[in-house]
Structure 1
Amino acid sequence: MLAIVAAVLFLIAFLINAADIATNDIFTSVNFMLVGLALLALHVAGIGSGWAARGRRR
Protein backbone atom coordinates (compact mmCIF):
# COMPACT_ATOMS: atom_id res chain seq x y z
CA MET A 1 0.00 0.00 0.00
CA LEU A 2 2.82 2.41 0.83
CA ALA A 3 4.52 1.65 -2.48
CA ILE A 4 1.37 2.65 -4.38
CA VAL A 5 1.17 5.95 -2.49
CA ALA A 6 4.86 6.52 -3.19
CA ALA A 7 4.29 5.90 -6.91
CA VAL A 8 1.44 8.43 -6.94
CA LEU A 9 3.64 10.99 -5.20
CA PHE A 10 6.42 10.38 -7.74
CA LEU A 11 3.89 10.94 -10.54
CA ILE A 12 2.73 14.21 -8.99
CA ALA A 13 6.36 15.32 -8.56
CA PHE A 14 7.07 14.48 -12.19
CA LEU A 15 4.04 16.42 -13.40
CA ILE A 16 4.97 19.47 -11.31
CA ASN A 17 8.51 19.34 -12.65
CA ALA A 18 7.60 18.61 -16.29
CA ALA A 19 4.85 21.22 -16.52
CA ASP A 20 7.00 23.77 -14.69
CA ILE A 21 4.13 24.62 -12.38
CA ALA A 22 4.86 27.43 -9.94
CA THR A 23 3.94 26.24 -6.44
CA ASN A 24 4.67 27.52 -2.96
CA ASP A 25 7.59 26.28 -0.87
CA ILE A 26 5.69 23.32 0.60
CA PHE A 27 4.37 21.70 -2.58
CA THR A 28 7.56 21.51 -4.62
CA SER A 29 8.53 18.51 -6.71
CA VAL A 30 11.53 17.83 -4.47
CA ASN A 31 9.31 17.61 -1.39
CA PHE A 32 6.97 15.18 -3.14
CA MET A 33 9.95 13.04 -4.17
CA LEU A 34 11.35 13.02 -0.62
CA VAL A 35 8.02 11.97 0.88
CA GLY A 36 7.72 9.30 -1.82
CA LEU A 37 11.19 8.00 -1.02
CA ALA A 38 10.36 7.87 2.69
CA LEU A 39 7.18 5.87 1.98
CA LEU A 40 9.10 3.56 -0.34
CA ALA A 41 11.72 2.99 2.37
CA LEU A 42 8.97 2.14 4.87
CA HIS A 43 7.47 -0.31 2.38
CA VAL A 44 10.83 -2.02 1.82
CA ALA A 45 11.34 -2.19 5.59
CA GLY A 46 8.07 -4.10 5.90
CA ILE A 47 5.97 -1.46 7.61
CA GLY A 48 2.42 -1.29 6.31
CA SER A 49 2.64 -4.50 4.33
CA GLY A 50 -0.49 -5.95 5.94
CA TRP A 51 0.62 -9.56 6.07
CA ALA A 52 3.14 -10.90 8.53
CA ALA A 53 4.74 -14.32 8.53
CA ARG A 54 4.35 -15.29 12.19
CA GLY A 55 4.98 -18.95 11.77
CA ARG A 56 3.09 -22.00 10.60
CA ARG A 57 -0.10 -23.14 12.23
CA ARG A 58 -0.89 -26.82 12.29
Structure 2
Amino acid sequence: MVAVVAAVLFGLALLFQLIGFALSVITAEVLVTAGLLCVALHLAGVGNTVQVRSYRRRR
Protein backbone atom coordinates (compact mmCIF):
# COMPACT_ATOMS: atom_id res chain seq x y z
CA MET A 1 0.00 0.00 0.00
CA VAL A 2 2.81 2.37 0.85
CA ALA A 3 4.49 1.60 -2.47
CA VAL A 4 1.33 2.62 -4.34
CA VAL A 5 1.28 5.93 -2.47
CA ALA A 6 4.93 6.45 -3.42
CA ALA A 7 4.14 5.79 -7.08
CA VAL A 8 1.31 8.33 -7.01
CA LEU A 9 3.54 10.92 -5.35
CA PHE A 10 6.28 10.37 -7.93
CA GLY A 11 3.73 10.70 -10.73
CA LEU A 12 2.44 13.97 -9.31
CA ALA A 13 6.01 15.23 -8.88
CA LEU A 14 6.72 14.44 -12.53
CA LEU A 15 3.62 16.30 -13.65
CA PHE A 16 4.45 19.29 -11.44
CA GLN A 17 7.97 19.35 -12.86
CA LEU A 18 6.85 19.06 -16.50
CA ILE A 19 4.12 21.67 -16.21
CA GLY A 20 6.11 23.97 -13.97
CA PHE A 21 3.27 24.06 -11.48
CA ALA A 22 3.78 24.72 -7.78
CA LEU A 23 1.50 25.59 -4.93
CA SER A 24 2.69 27.65 -1.99
CA VAL A 25 3.99 24.65 -0.03
CA ILE A 26 3.59 21.68 -2.37
CA THR A 27 6.35 21.63 -4.97
CA ALA A 28 7.88 18.82 -7.00
CA GLU A 29 10.74 18.52 -4.52
CA VAL A 30 8.35 18.05 -1.61
CA LEU A 31 6.49 15.32 -3.51
CA VAL A 32 9.76 13.54 -4.36
CA THR A 33 10.82 13.68 -0.73
CA ALA A 34 7.46 12.28 0.40
CA GLY A 35 7.71 9.55 -2.24
CA LEU A 36 11.17 8.57 -1.07
CA LEU A 37 9.89 8.41 2.49
CA CYS A 38 7.10 6.07 1.37
CA VAL A 39 9.58 3.87 -0.50
CA ALA A 40 11.79 3.71 2.59
CA LEU A 41 8.80 2.73 4.73
CA HIS A 42 7.84 0.07 2.18
CA LEU A 43 11.34 -1.38 2.18
CA ALA A 44 11.32 -1.37 5.98
CA GLY A 45 8.20 -3.51 5.92
CA VAL A 46 5.63 -0.97 7.07
CA GLY A 47 2.17 -1.34 5.60
CA ASN A 48 2.54 -4.68 3.87
CA THR A 49 1.76 -7.07 6.71
CA VAL A 50 -0.85 -9.62 5.80
CA GLN A 51 -2.20 -11.71 8.61
CA VAL A 52 -3.79 -14.98 7.64
CA ARG A 53 -5.56 -16.98 10.26
CA SER A 54 -5.55 -20.66 9.71
CA TYR A 55 -7.93 -22.80 11.63
CA ARG A 56 -6.77 -26.37 11.93
CA ARG A 57 -9.14 -29.00 13.15
CA ARG A 58 -7.80 -31.36 15.72
CA ARG A 59 -9.01 -34.93 15.61
TM range (shorter): 0.7 to 0.9
- TM-score normalized with structure 1 length: 0.81
Kindly report structure 1 stretches of 4+ aligned residues shifted beyond 6 Å. none
Contact 2:22–2:28 (Cα < 8 Å) also in 1: no
RMSD value over aligned CA atoms? 1.4
Partner of 1:39: 38
Identity of aligned residues (%): 40
Query: In structure 1, what is the Cα distance between the partners aligned to 2:33 and 2:17?
Result: 14
How far residue 50 of structure 1 moved from its aligned partner, in angstroms, is 2.3
What residue ranges of structure 2 are gaps of 5+ in the alignment? none
Aligned length: 52
Post-superposition CA distance 1:6-56 (Å, at most 9, x none): 0000000000000111421x100000000000011000000111226xxxx
Partner of 1:5: 5
What residue ranges of structure 1 are gaps of 5+ in the alignment? 53-57
